Amino acid sequence: MLMLMIRPRHVLRSTISIVAGITILLLSILFAPAVSARSTQHMVNGPTILKASIGFDGIYQDGNWTPIQIDLSNSGNDFTGKISINVPSAAIPGPNMMQRANAYQETINLPPGAKKQVTLSVPVDLSFQGANAQISVDLLDEAGHRVAHQAILSGNNNNNLTLIGILSDTPNNFGQLNLSLSNLFSTSGQIKNLSAATLPKQAQVLKNFDAIVLDNFTTSSLSQDQLGALQSWVNQGGNLIVSGGPEWKRTLSSLPGSLLPVTIQGNGTLAAGKHLLPVNTLTKGDQPAKDTVNATVPISLAQTTPNSTTILADGKTPLIAQKTLGQGTVYYLAYDPTLEPLTSWQQTNQLWSSVLLRSLSDRVLTSANNTNINKGQMQSGMNYFPGMTALLQTFFPNAYPSIWLILVLLLSYVAILGPIRLLLVRVLKRRSWTWRIVLSTIVVFTLLSYGLALQQKGSSIINSSITLLQLNAPDKTGSSGHATTWLGVFVPSQGDFQVHVPGTTLVQPVEQVNPMYSPYSQSSGTQNSIFTVGNNNTDVNLQGVDIWTTRSLLTQQDTHTTGGITSQLQVQNNTVSGTVTSTLPYTLADAFVLVGNSYVAIGDLQSNSTKQITINLTSKSSPSANNLTIADQIANSRGLTSSPNDGYYASNGSSQPRDTPIAMR
């Protein structure tokens, strides 16, 4: 009876369970699409990354600061967050093969319905990553959570690329330039059209270009920052080609006067049959090129400025002129190769080739030999790194106490554990004190050793810096220049640290430029750094810093100062003589004048002062005479010896050198 009563209940309960399960399954199937739709709608209704691209239409020079363009949109509520770009880096050589993770960020705000393009320049060196390297672009909210993500494929970027930038309102008229590039560089030569919207405002980003052509362009549309970057780029080794012609005023009048090799006076006409190519210009068959055209050519009339060279002239009118400006060169063409009758002239490509050969001769040779060179690393001045990074270490607290102090501690330790301990035990007749004395001595001397090390290393954050300042020839406003600063940050403890770098947005780790000279290649794990770019500053978040280590940063920025350095020198009988004048607002301490392989020390050069100098070019100061570089000779004359392995100079005596030598060329 009891069993009969239980069975129906069991069956009922099983039936209820089955029905409930089927109901839950049906509800799940019915409501699953709705849940999925809500999730998708949540991703769509909000900020997102529409597109992310690298360089100039995907082309860039590896090893340089490169622009990353990000197109954003917001279909949701007001959004404030950050754009974060993660550039892959090679592992730092060392026993632990430490990994690096560097992110470059910028704060953004997207109102509802807004679309915005953000351009953030980052240092890109993917030569160790291969063709499949990816650059990650993330959109982060205020809490640091990722909202959207896109990856940029670097592609197989050719390190032997020769890139020519074109600033022109008629960018489709450069077929002859393309032909000359193909003749000189085969497939490794490319041109990229630029505009006022795409021309970078920083000289370091312009280093992606081997040369820039300015032709028939409304230069007044460029900002002062862009014009300043263009001039700084030339001073740092860039090649600028400008054309005059009938539109010279629109093209050249807005440029700084010190940038041009000529002073333009107006419009003119070159008669038919006049020479248009530089002398000794040859065609592919080594035959003299026909350098005349049977039509009049509109030109701009000008006079060359001091320190300029005329390459081709018609009487006193320069047709092709050049001017060396800092480490770069500016070329001027009196006629416009993109206008008739030159645009249809068969020898216009030879005209472009002759100018490119003068400005890019080294690139032509490396391209012909199929030499694969990472020009970005060459431009970054990596030859300075062994000396600069090692020199930064010498500015921090000495890691090694004096030998006498170590000897005193050691002898005291031995004496207490040995004779003093035995004497106390015998005099006091307390043998049980032996272990107490030994333990107390160990504790006391351990604390003394740690305190000594802490005192030697320091207990606070310390930074030191070395700045290499390259000043250009002064003009009416003063001297422009470029400053490269090696910044070392020493931390006495482990953790995360913040570094604020004012005045520049180009900050990167030293080891990102050259991993071989990393100051912490012996560290293990991953070294994370976040660079947040501001209006005119950069905040660096150094994460996971090991105790008592140095993190080194490299900053670059263009500078301008009042005054400058000028010289009036002449060469006679292998002797350079004359005067050097400084109108800088500060004193140059321990200065040298370098001429070729010779130098002379002129001591302190005060502000608004002039010094007479004489240099014998055949004296023993020449490196060929004693197989020493000028730097080694100057160091030896100041009582310093060079370290061949570390690349820096150490003092022979106990005192440090008073000043860092300053050289002038």
Q: Are strands 537-545 and 115-124 parallel, antiparallel or unpaired?
A: unpaired
Structural domain includes residue 377: no
Examine the domain organization and report whether 260 and 357 are in the same domain.
yes
Structural domain includes residue 530: yes
What is the C-alpha to C-alpha distance for residues 179 and 181, in angstroms, rounded to an integer? 5
Mean pLDDT of 442-466: 76
With H, G, I as helix, E, B as strand and everything else as coil, classify residue 476: coil
The pLDDT tens digits of the residues spanning 591-644 come to 999 887 788 889 899 999 999 999 887 765 444 445 677 777 888 877 776 655
Examine the domain organization and report whether 236 and 145 are in the same domain.
no
Structural domain includes residue 240: yes
Nearest C-alpha neighbor of 242 from the set 173, 337, 156: 337
DSSP E strand stretches across 9-127: 47-54, 64-74, 79-87, 99-110, 115-124
Examine the domain organization and report whether 222 and 312 are in the same domain.
yes
Structural domain includes residue 545: yes
491: domain CATH number is: 2.60.40
146: domain CATH number is: 2.60.40.10
Identify which has the larger pLDDT, 365 or 22.
Answer: 365
Identify which has the larger pLDDT, 401 or 181.
Answer: 181
235: domain CATH number is: 3.40.50.880
Examine the domain organization and report whether 443 and 580 are in the same domain.
no
Mean pLDDT of 312-336: 95
* Boundary of a domain, candidates 505, 535, 561: 561
What are the CA-CA distances from residue 193 to residues 214, 337, 521 (Å)? 11, 17, 42
Residue 254 has pLDDT above 50, yes or no: yes
Examine the domain organization and report whether 577 and 502 are in the same domain.
no
How many Cβ atoms sit within 10 Å of the Cβ of residue 37?
A: 10
Q: Which two tokens stand for residue 173?
A: 């008229």
Examine the domain organization and report whether 436 and 485 are in the same domain.
no
- Give, as one character, the DSSP assignment of residue 473: P
Q: Is the dihedral of CA 230, 335, 195, 225 positive or negative?
A: positive
Q: What are phi and psi of 365, to 5 degrees?
A: -65, -45
Number of structural domains (the chain) is: 6
Structural domain includes residue 376: no
Examine the domain organization and report whether 172 and 319 are in the same domain.
yes
What is the C-alpha to C-alpha distance for residues 356 and 588, in angstroms, rounded to an integer? 39
* Boundary of a domain, candidates 153, 186, 205: 153
User: pTM of the predicted model, to two decimals?
Assistant: 0.78
With H, G, I as helix, E, B as strand and everything else as coil, classify residue 35: helix
Structural domain range at position 546: 384-394+461-561
Structural domain includes residue 467: yes
Residue 273 has pLDDT above 50, yes or no: yes
Nearest C-alpha neighbor of 424 from the set 408, 410, 436: 436
Examine the domain organization and report whether 268 and 242 are in the same domain.
yes
Residue 262 has pLDDT above 80, yes or no: yes
Structural domain includes residue 117: yes
Examine the domain organization and report whether 555 and 592 are in the same domain.
no
What is the C-alpha to C-alpha distance for residues 168 and 179, in angstroms, rounded to an integer? 18
Examine the domain organization and report whether 52 and 120 are in the same domain.
yes
Examine the domain organization and report whether 427 and 503 are in the same domain.
no
Residue 331 has pLDDT above 90, yes or no: yes
Instruction: Please state the separation of Cα 368 from the chain's center in Å.
Output: 28
What is the C-alpha to C-alpha distance for residues 90 and 63, in angstroms, rounded to an integer? 13
Structural domain includes residue 379: no
Mean pLDDT of 461-466: 83
Establish whether the linkage from the previous residue to 288 is cis, with ω within 30° of 0: no
The pLDDT tens digits of the residues spanning 65-90 come to 999 999 999 999 999 999 999 988 75
Nearest C-alpha neighbor of 67 from the set 57, 82, 79: 57
Examine the domain organization and report whether 540 and 593 are in the same domain.
no
Contact (CB, 8 A) for 291 and 275: yes
* Boundary of a domain, candidates 120, 153, 186: 153
Contact (CB, 8 A) for 417 and 441: yes
